[in-house]
Amino acid sequence: MVVSTVTYLEMTSAEEVVPARLPEEPLEIRRVEEISPEFSRFLYASVGGDWHWTEKLTWTWSRWVEHLSRPGFETWVAWVGGTPAGYITLKADGTEVEVENFGLLPGFIGRGIGGHLLTAGLLHAWTMPDRHPELEPVTRVWLHTNTLDGPYALANYEARGLRRYKSVDEERPDADGPPPGPWPGAERP
């Protein structure tokens, strides 16, 4: 059985965000304003398929709608040339915001987009009460990653100002064997 090390990271002030350099290619980051289980599942599978993101793959359409409709939940997508390049989801709970998912589609990794998208996502996390008046002021933004995630994930999080506060090992029976990829039969060269 695969054992993965899960690392938890946090920041407690918007001033702790360390901006990444801007990508060389034109990039637009937009908030998803319509509830779309199909689009959200596409992003989740396309970004996470190579990193053993499997939990939400079995969700029903109704479960996706419920998840996306929660108060204080946002999805932000990076677009390059009209194509979604990656995304970040933010989930507010009390005075905290969790970066629930973050990543790039495979073709956009290594192009300087991830650091910029994470910078924007963290800044949006700190300003969530501006868009959701029912929320309390944010005092903490946090996330977790694991050793099954992309090889640059942890370094990107730390470079953006997030600090490690806990690591735990967990058994991952779903990670025995190769990752599922973005869809069945999507083997790439």
Q: Identify the structural domains of the chain with CATH numbers, from first to last.
A: 2-174 (3.40.630.30)
- How high is the pLDDT of residue 174? 80
- How high is the pLDDT of residue 116? 97
Distance between terminal CA atoms of the chain? 27
Residue 61 token pair: 């359409």
Q: Which of 2, 51, 32, 20 has its CA nearest to residue 122?
A: 20
pLDDT band for 85, please (50, 70, 90 cuts).
very high
CB 113 within 8 A of CB 78: yes
Strand intervals (E) in the chain: 2-11, 28-31, 73-80, 83-93, 96-104, 140-146, 163-172
Task: Say if residue 94's pLDDT is above 80.
Answer: yes
For the stretch 39-73, pLDDT in tens is: 999 999 999 999 989 899 999 999 999 999 999 99
Percent of the chain scoring above 70 in pLDDT: 100
Global pTM exceeds 0.75: yes
Q: Where are the alpha helices (DSSP H) in 33-182?
A: 37-48, 61-68, 113-126, 128-131, 153-159
For the stretch 157-177, pLDDT in tens is: 999 999 999 999 988 888 888
